[in-house]
Structure 1
Amino acid sequence: MRNDFDIKKHDQRDPNPWLAMYLDSSIPINNSTKQALMRDNNSRSARYLLPFVQLWSKISMFFIHVFKFFFPKLFNSSNALHKILAWGLKNFVSQDANLLIFRHFHAGSEILEFIAKNVSGIEVKTSPLKPYDFNDVKEDLFLKHDLNLYNFVINLNSQLKSNGLNIQKQDSLNLEMISEDQFGHIEFPRRWTNVLDLRSAIELFTPFYQLFLTANDFVRASNSLQLDETVAIYTTQILGTPGHLGLVNNKHPMVPTSTYTAAYRLVLHGLATETLHEILVNIKLGRSQDGIMTPSVA
């Protein structure tokens, strides 16, 4: 992918905010992901289309909410939903936004595997989701992602409680599941129709998510975003570095927030996943984070 963030293009009288964010290294993040996210933020779709899409999305969600109250079982079809999502991603979503979406499943799966393999005295089986093409999306990908998060939390903590254990700092880490590549092995379409930025795509897809899922599935999906804090706490307990919790914005899963904010929080969820994954990559490669000595790697 191209690099649009060249310091030679910097104009002192008209600085590009996304160039500043790209050059800033205070937040750990995969370089390809960072470039894609900054280009996505700077796209015409994000600047001109997103405000209209957000308005349409909120209005649609309100009427779907009323509709589902009276007809809760009508249109419930995860299969139909994911076919629509796969079609939309392939034909209308930009290359950068598709990269961010697909990478999220890989990074999230690796983080859960890391936690499962680095908690002593328990054995939690994970179900990694690592899509490589749009057909993989049709296999209930987004729904399984939400289910995996809750099932992981339930299975992990039920074992900890039944065995009288707590998550402890590990002096020797298993990082074999953490991949440090730049995720360049998937080519996404770049047709003239592939223009939607990440947030516009999510805002457009969210009403379909609400319409075709049961109320329980949709609310659970929205609330799962606040599990960012839970997963981050597990990881920092293993690493012994609680300062990393400052990178998490989706917090307090015991106090759910409105589903109308789900699209924005989903982008924050993606960013939290990427930063946590990059922390693990840096540890695997022997880099330190914020001056903290990294544990040894098994």
Structure 2
Amino acid sequence: MRNYNSQGENHNEKYIFRPNIRVSYNINDNAYIRYNGYISGYSPSLSDLNNVEQDIDSLQIRRGNPNLQTVWYYTHTLTGGYNKGIFGVEFFMRYSYDHKPIMEQVTFEDGKFVRTNINQKGFHRLNTEATFKLKPFGEYLTLSVTPGLNRYISYGEEFTHTYSSWRVRGSAVFNYKKWSLTGEMYTRWNNFWGETMDRGERIHTVSVGYSDESRLLGLEKVKWSLTGGMFNPFSKSYSQGSRNYSALTPNKSLVYTDNLKQIFVINFTINFNFGRQYKAGNKRLNNDDTDAGIMSGSKK
């Protein structure tokens, strides 16, 4: 992978080797284990590379950094599962490391706090989940619960932060002939990057669906489904926020309402199968140019 950008006399060019390895092994008819590892990278945004300053408020300045360098990272993912009878368990573990990631740095100059992005030392994250499934009435009812843990270690030039976040999600799926009834619940899934923790959302959903096969436009039978659902039908409160642990400019933000309106969604899908069939490969590179290069004046 080649990343290149330039502004005036400054330019940044980097080549990154992107190997990918996948290994899968079926232990027996009921158990399996899989591994996937790869190396990749990402470029700094055009807005962060701009050699300009922008006032945030009377005490803070946002400053670009044309010396930012492309970041490379590697990821390891391990999954496995065991299913037999009415019981099943699946586990997921992912570790990733960003080398010299682009993160915010705050300094104090001439009576003002200057916020800019630099290549910090490193960032580690570990995500682990285990899903336990129970089918007490065969395919008619599936109950599952998934506890998970996110662990973050953020190394900067002038800071070191560690943060852990637990989450649990659960679901119940009832199937009868062509009908299905689903209920899901998620606790918060907080995220950490640099010196900032972003609080996730608490969500629960209920949906009802119907699926069938029908002849359409003289074609063979096509599969279709219609599902209606609602987000947070049993709650009127909502909150979200963030916390910055900077030694110079720590801050908190909170968004809260006790008048949450429920959202109803309808999803209709139809699957046409005709002509030559083939298996599409996954798109691994994103070549879209959607970066406007405009610096944000807000604090993170």
Q: TM-score, normalised by structure 2?
A: 0.22
Question: Where is the strand percentage greater, Structure 1 or Structure 2?
Answer: 2
User: Which entry has the higher C-alpha Rg, 1 or 2?
Assistant: 2
Greater RCO, CA 8 A, separation 6+: 1
Higher share in helix: 1
